[in-house]
Structure 1
Amino acid sequence: MSANLSFCALSNTLNFPYNPVFNRKPILHFLFPKAKIIASSRLDHRDGIEPKKQETNHSNSAIKAPTAPWMKGPLLVEPNQVLHFSKRRRRRKDSTFIENETPDKALTSKVSGGRGKKAMNKIFHRIEKLQEIVDLEEESWETEEKEKFKFTPGALWGDKDSDLEEIGEGLKFGKGIRRMPWQKEEEGIVIKRMNTEKAMTAAEAILDREFLERLRDKSARMRKWVKVNKAGVTQDVVNQVRLIWRTDELAMLKFDVPLCRNMARAREIVEMKTGGLVVWSKEDALVVYRGHNYQLGFNASPKKRRNLVDDGPNSSLSGGGEEESVSIDGSLYEREADRLLDGLGPRFVDWWYPKPLPVDADLLPEVVPGFRPPLRRCPPDVRSQLTDHELTYLRKLARPLPTHFVLGRNRKLQGLAEAVLKLWEKCHIAKIALKWGVPNTDNEQMASELKRLTGGIILLRNKFLIILYRGKDFLPSQVATLVAEREALLMRHQFHEESARLETTEIFSATYETSVNSDILGTLSEFQLFTDYAKQEVRNDEVKIQMETQKARLEKELRNQEWKLFMLKKKIETSVKVLEKLDSAWEPSEQDEDKEIITEEEKECLRSIGLKMDGSLVLGRRGVYGGVIEGLHQHWKHREVAKVITMQKTFSQVLQTAQFLEVESGGILVSIDKLKEGHAIILYRGKNYKRPKLAPQNLLTKREALFKSLEMQRLGSLKFYANQKEQAILDLKRKLKECT
């Protein structure tokens, strides 16, 4: 390439030879502005290459352009090899990304959804499609054995050191491999979760398969059932099932909460109480088969009835083997819980949660002779109350524990309290569930009764559970017995010591006075007397301090109330002065002596006309001022009667306002009537009415009237609070007299 470049001395043009090998891409990757690239044909003769013939077509002819200052000679370049920076070049879309695009951009372009599952599926399909295209274009990539495409995540970014090692069915990535965005780093060994096999039911083990299928088909078509309420499978439900078995071999049961949440336990209870076999179950329904040898009116126990079912022609298991298997079945959790509850009382068979079965508290005795709340002693430097942190910890600790008791009554819980005390010797927490469907149960009363009998601490109480903690001061029965014995022994020793001291003082008493004065000297009685006197003195001092504190507090409160009353009186004086100034700003008019007189008939007629009028003049909080009188004359301009509505409460104020309007306007007061919205004042203008030319000058303006109304309201409030303060001062003075 270096041999083919030449610089011409007479020109500033760099000469490039024409090479058909590099015809695919432009030879120059940059150009100076205002420069033209020209391919020289003169050097082609030197290298033995024939120059390209000039074509007649102008579009295919070589282009000569200005050269750079250091170039010598012209450059001739074909038109398709010139880069035009003025026009934006559009990237040509290619089906393959080998030359133009990077692999990761080709995969993720035009894929919406970010890193979601849908976007990842689209990317994977594109990878498969790209692999097919590459396999078709380059035969070197094809292998003899056509295997399913396995995409290497490291290949997207060009990791040459990435490797895949097949281990079993999985893939193990090497050190240079990058994970895909949806892959997570897995540490340790991943163990596949094994699906547990469905346990075989008693019906499947005993009955033939064809016979069982027939029963299940018949069960699916049943539309009548026995409703099992919240109380569970009671004796009434069992009697209804036996009544159905007299006419049909199958009986359907539908369960309400809580048994509908655990149908496996419901199956066990039904089979145990009825003696039948559950052959079909769906959601909250079970169908019970009565058995081959069921006898009408047979009142044997469920165990004997199960033996009759097992002794049928299709029997494969015996009742004795089943009872033996029950003793060894169950997890370690169930066995430990059963061992904890053994000896506390009979179990609750209708338990709606999985085993272990809790103790039925309703079957425990209501009253236990000689029962007393346990003795409690708190360790030194330990508070018996629980902190918030301890309470939270104990509640979390009680969550996985099994339920110990099931309760359904509110009172007479001494038997349950005794069982709880026995349980607390092995477990710190007692968990008591409340029975469903039992009327008139009150969990608050239950919890308070148990707390009174046992002295424990309630961790949780709601309509489902009561959780009791034995407390930090709880003593087991043996320890409590030892403590009580030691206390009794200590009291006996104190009694003997007191008796010995009394005998000694009687022997060595010299005189009667001495014996009288010294009969209790150095004894426990003397110490007790001194202690009582000291306690009484302390009590007297405390009472005296409380009285002095109360007296000081009352005196301080009295001073505060007197200061507030003084400030209120100052404000009242200021408000009175402002009102006097406003009252002096207006002068009421004098009433005309020559007043027009109208008859009663005219008054009644004018009153009916005024009440029927729609237009009216409403008086607000400002009262009567100059603008009201002008509005009244405006009404009289078009009609003889004017209706004024006022919102004042008392009739005396309304009457005073009506008289004031009559005097200031010069009209005649017709009537005052009570309406729904207030009082209506009817005014007649008179027969000789003349409208005044000027507005009244002796009344207040609108602003002054509003200010007067606010000041009157303020004065009333101040007087009210001043009266309250005076009453409070009198009460404080009375209390001070009582304290002294």
Structure 2
Amino acid sequence: MVERMEVGDAGITQALVDSIHEKWREDEVVKLKFEGPQSLNMKRTHETLEDWSGCEPVSVDADLLPSEVPGYKPPVKLLPYGVRHCLRNKEMTRFRRLARTMPSHFALGRNRKLQGLAEAMVKLWESSAIAKIAIKRGVLNTCNDRMAEELKNLTGGTLLSRNKDYIVFYRGNDFLPPVVVEALKEREKLTDVQANEEDQARQRASAAIESKLKASKSPLVAGTLTETLAATSRWGNEISSKDVEHMRRDESLNKHAALLKYLEKKLALAKGKVKRAEKALAKVQENLRPADLPVDLETISDEERSLLRKIGLSMKPFLLIRRRGIFYGTVENMHLHWKYRELVKLIVRGKSFAQVKRLVVSLEAESGGVLVSLDKTMKSYAIIVYRGKNYQRPHAVRPRNLLTRRQALARSIELQRREALKHHISDLQERIELLNYELVRALAF
């Protein structure tokens, strides 16, 4: 390249980086020529230009921080009431996106003995929830896994992301600033003092009561706790076996009644859900206007039917009718098949024979074809439909009287919900009848 950008004594600046990005809009490659101090160590210049994140703030060199701090302890962690210990997925994504754009706070090159860095991170967390650490390039035997493990053990923070360039830590929902920690310690001291004072007052009161009892020679006043317990243990009424049996019977009846009331409540809720499902199903089926079978339906002979059945069953291309059933896409695909061949093969799975028969009648009415056969295979039903000898492709292969793909899915969901609720209601009714029978039988005895 003949064209190149001259870099003088100013070195790498934000203006240089902006001009490079501006040049990239026109060309894929930018050629730079360095002069002055920058040209003495081109490897370092290259690394600085490639991880450039801005002039300020400059990352703190974590290797210059002390490896061991006398008396260092991990910060005090206390989770507030009603706060989750872990971050949700959305919160984790938000913090990662925030850390992606912010400059790094520290630059690290060693793997172990990071107590000085941990102390600096805890101090940083008082004003910032995230600590971003850049991993130095060119340092031998750097392992970001060891760095992250060491810092997590020393700080107790939450690791947001880790790669060969950066390590990002979140201070955690249970992080407490030093001011709050000191306030909690003071409160604990006051609590301990109050507890000691209460214990001493309790001991003095018990000692005074014992001294008065020893000094008094008169008999104790009737009705004290000691006399009451002694009288109850000596002359109290003992519970007979009949009373125990009666109490057990009452407890069993109360459990049956509570369970019966709970099931009746569930039954009422299920009936309400069935009504809502039927209402939603009726709303979806408002757009469905099924066609009737044509009067002059074309007929085929037995020989033709047998031949067409063999051809259709041996066909590899087929249409799969899933949970949506028959909608405008099904009829459209049938006409697209009939454009290249006379037969169309449809596969239906997970339905009973009666449901498949209803589908066959609807297919004949909507497509205008002739049913050749309905066969039961290993795991499904195979439907062969013949387009007819006088077939003419309609102008609109997608009928407007059927449901759309989305409406058909909504209808399928509401039908499935209604059937499940009906089975649930039948189970609840059986359980309620059984409980009523058991309750009447228990009351009779």
TM-score by length of 2: 0.45
More relative contact order, 1 or 2 (CA 8 Å, 6+ apart) = 2
User: Which one has the bigger helix percentage?
Assistant: 2
Which is greater in Rg? 1
TM-score by length of 1: 0.27
